[in-house]
């Protein structure tokens, strides 16, 4: 889509003033805790595929994609058709957790999406519509099933914004103002090659992480009781797009299995095709005890699930209730989405386009020293922006620069690309485009991104100060 087209109706003064009215209304009435609108001051009126158009007619490429929710992009015809079919059929839209034909089909589709060895031996808990509610449920399930109270999580983890999910998340900024989060949570070193907690990276960093975890679990004086569960993301999303190495996850799985500790994979963001496999843990060839799914599993509509091994099903009726656990439209949209992802060659397309995106970003890195690291898996790609004049870390890497990353984000936005930040210092540009993105669209994204990075690099080179 050309820039001219994007801005074709921007001259319409009525639309512009209406657009400002919408934004003013948001600023006037919505809570101080609102987040995305501060970076992306737009009112979205229309959306299709990877594009969104605001109320004044300007079109943007959406690489935020509902924070990874929109596997098939906006308003995919198959999702719309599935939703319309339910709406026309006279089926209830809301069923609590009662059965409906749409739910039965969705359950079959979910089971069919699981790796061999799991589908015959699982139970499914339908949760409230957010990923956080499913993580809450999973923690309660693990505690109930094991009779233990300790939870182990990882540096850089993100599992949600409720009390228990914040407690198992790493980012201290939203945690610190809230007293009395769930107690008895301990954090383990995640194998982050570029910002290795041991300052070494690579296979040595992975080995040290596994040795340390083993020590925590086995040392009678580690101070940490046997845990109810170990929760992690196979690719940390909000933590800064950090894929864990397959071999490391495989070893972690063996450690927990040998000690009968439930391994809980939070697939809310990395699951449902995002990394080129249906679930991100599949790359490591493991079978977790508990899988947490949300975002794309509802086809863009609110839905979350916990899928877990039957032997853990020891909680009592009503142990995790909630009103909105029977979103029939989300089940229909989710079924359509899962079927689409399972089409021949589609997950390979995700892998290919992910490599394509990584390749473009790595090429750009050669010319821009404000790009410190490019990493990711499938269509979950992160570019860490650094300050080359800042003090280097234990591994000799320049410090993450939230200031420069914010400038790149703004420069992208000005050119019509919506992309979110995350990770330490909010310095990682996080690409989460719809999985249906084409090679040509990836090129379009990368052209805008390159222009934005170059603009910020030129400005940076002119200044002589540190941009932390």
Ligand X SMILES: Cc1ncc(COP(=O)(O)O)c(C=O)c1O
Give the nearer residue to ligand X in terms of CB position, either 235 or 448: 235
Total residues in contact with ligand X, by rule CB under 6 A: 15
Give the nearer residue to ligand X in terms of CB position, either 55 or 127: 127
Distances (CA, A) of 116 to 119, 336, 466: 7, 21, 52
Give the nearer residue to ligand X in terms of CB position, either 231 or 467: 231
Give the nearer residue to ligand X in terms of CB position, either 54 or 289: 289
Smallest gap from residue 179 Cβ to ligand X (A): 21
Smallest gap from residue 263 Cβ to ligand X (A): 15
Cβ 359 vs Cβ 444: under 8 Å = no
Among residues 158, 198, 324, 449, the one that binds ligand X under rule CB under 6 A = 158
Give the nearer residue to ligand X in terms of CB position, either 133 or 289: 133
User: Taking contact as CB under 6 A, which single stretch among the options 129-137, 189-197, 318-326, 387-395 is the one that binds ligand X?
Assistant: 129-137
Give the nearer residue to ligand X in terms of CB position, either 71 or 467: 71
Q: How far apart are CA 64 and CA 404, in angstroms?
A: 19
Smallest gap from residue 125 Cβ to ligand X (A): 15
Binders in 82-121 for ligand X, by CB under 6 A: none
Give the 3-state secondary structure of the chain: CCHHHHCCCCCCHHHHHHHHHHHHHHHHHCCCCCCHHHHCCCCEEEEEECEEEECCCCEEEECCHHHHCCCCCECCHHHHHHHHHHHHHCCCCECCCCCCHHHHHHHHHHHHHCCCCCHHHEEEEECCCCHHHHHHHHHHHHHHHHCCCEEEEECCCCCCCCHHHHHCCCCHHHHCCCCCCCCCEEEECCCCCCCCCCCCCHHHHHHHHHHHHHHHHHCCCCCCCCEEEEEECCEECCCCCEECCHHHHHHHHHHHHHCCCCEEEECCCCCCCCCCCCCHHHHHCCCCCEEEECHHHHCCCCCCEEEEEHHHCCCCCCCCCCCCCCEHHHHHHHHHHHHHHCCCCHHHHHHHHHHHHHHHHHHHHHHCCCEEEEEEECCEEEEEEECCCCCCCCCCCCCECHHHHHHHHHHHHHCCEECEEECHHHCEEEECCCCCCCHHHHHHHHHHHHHHHHHHHHHHHHCCCCCC
Give the nearer residue to ligand X in terms of CB position, either 38 or 88: 38
Among residues 131, 273, 298, 434, the one that binds ligand X under rule CB under 6 A = 131
Smallest gap from residue 159 Cβ to ligand X (A): 5
User: Does position 320 bind ligand X by CB under 6 A?
Assistant: no
Binders in 58-77 for ligand X, by CB under 6 A: 67
User: Does position 135 bind ligand X by CB under 6 A?
Assistant: yes
Among residues 114, 132, 213, 456, the one that binds ligand X under rule CB under 6 A = 132
Smallest gap from residue 467 Cβ to ligand X (A): 27
User: Taking contact as CB under 6 A, which single stretch among the options 88-96, 155-163, 345-353, 403-411 is the one that binds ligand X?
Assistant: 155-163
∠ CA 149-152-156 to the nearest 5 degrees? 145
Give the nearer residue to ligand X in terms of CB position, either 266 or 387: 266
Instruction: Tell me which residue has its CB nearest to ligand X.
Output: 131
Binders in 229-268 for ligand X, by CB under 6 A: 233, 237-238, 266, 268
Give the nearer residue to ligand X in terms of CB position, either 139 or 213: 139
Smallest gap from residue 58 Cβ to ligand X (A): 27
User: Does position 426 bind ligand X by CB under 6 A?
Assistant: no
Residues 280-299 as x/- pattern, contact with ligand X by CB under 6 A: --------------x-----
Among residues 56, 130, 256, 457, the one that binds ligand X under rule CB under 6 A = 130
Site residues, ligand X (CB under 6 A): 67, 130-132, 135, 158-160, 233, 237-238, 266, 268-269, 294
């Amino acid at each position: 889509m050309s820039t001219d087209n994007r801005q074709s109706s921007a001259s319409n003064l009525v639309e512009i003033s209406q657009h400002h009215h919408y934004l003013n209304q948001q600023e006037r009435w919505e809570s101080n805790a609102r987040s995305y609108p501060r970076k992306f001051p737009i009112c979205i009126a229309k959306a299709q595929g990877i594009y969104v158009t605001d109320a004044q007619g300007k079109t943007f490429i959406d690489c935020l994609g509902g924070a990874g929710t929109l596997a098939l992009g906006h308003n995919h015809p198959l999702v719309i058709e599935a939703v319309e079919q339910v709406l026309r059929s006279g089926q209830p839209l809301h069923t609590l957790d009662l059965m409906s034909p749409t739910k039965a089909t969705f359950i079959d589709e979910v089971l069919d999406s699981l790796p061999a060895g799991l589908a015959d031996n699982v139970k499914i808990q339908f949760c409230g519509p957010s990923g956080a509610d499913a993580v809450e449920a999973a923690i309660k399930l693990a505690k109930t099933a094991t009779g233990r109270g300790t939870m182990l999580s990882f540096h850089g983890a993100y599992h949600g914004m409720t009390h228990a999910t914040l407690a198992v998340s790493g980012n201290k900024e939203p945690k610190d103002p809230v007293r009395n989060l769930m107690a008895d949570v301990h954090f383990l070193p995640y194998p982050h090659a570029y910002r290795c907690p041991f300052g070494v990276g690579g296979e040595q960093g992975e080995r040290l992480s596994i040795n340390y975890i083993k020590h925590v679990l086995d040392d009678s004086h580690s101070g940490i009781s046997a845990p109810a569960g170990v929760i992690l993301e196979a690719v940390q999303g909000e933590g800064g797009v950090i894929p864990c190495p397959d071999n490391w996850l495989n070893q972690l799985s063996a450690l927990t299995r040998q000690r009968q500790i439930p391994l809980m994979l939070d697939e809310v963001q990395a699951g449902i095709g995002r990394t080129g496999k249906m679930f991100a843990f599949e790359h490591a060839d493991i079978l977790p005890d508990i899988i947490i799914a949300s975002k794309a599993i509802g086809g863009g509509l609110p839905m979350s699930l916990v899928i877990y091994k039957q032997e853990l099903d020891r909680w009592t009726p009503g142990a995790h209730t909630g009103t909105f656990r029977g979103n029939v439209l989300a089940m229909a949209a989710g079924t359509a989405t899962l079927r689409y992802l399972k089409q021949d060659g589609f997950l390979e397309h995700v892998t290919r386009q992910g490599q394509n995106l990584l390749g473009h970003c790595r090429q750009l890195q050669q010319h821009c020293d404000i790009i410190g690291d490019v990493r990711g898996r499938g269509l979950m790609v992160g570019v860490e922006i650094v300050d080359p004049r800042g003090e280097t870390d234990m591994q000799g890497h320049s410090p993450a620069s939230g200031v420069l990353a914010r400038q790149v984000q703004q420069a992208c936005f000005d050119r019509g690309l919506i992309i979110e930040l995350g990770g330490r210092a909010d310095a990682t540009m996080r690409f989460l485009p719809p999985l249906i993105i084409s090679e040509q669209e990836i090129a379009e994204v990368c052209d805008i991104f390159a222009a934005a990075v170059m603009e910020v690099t030129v400005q940076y080179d002119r200044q002589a100060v540190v941009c932390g």
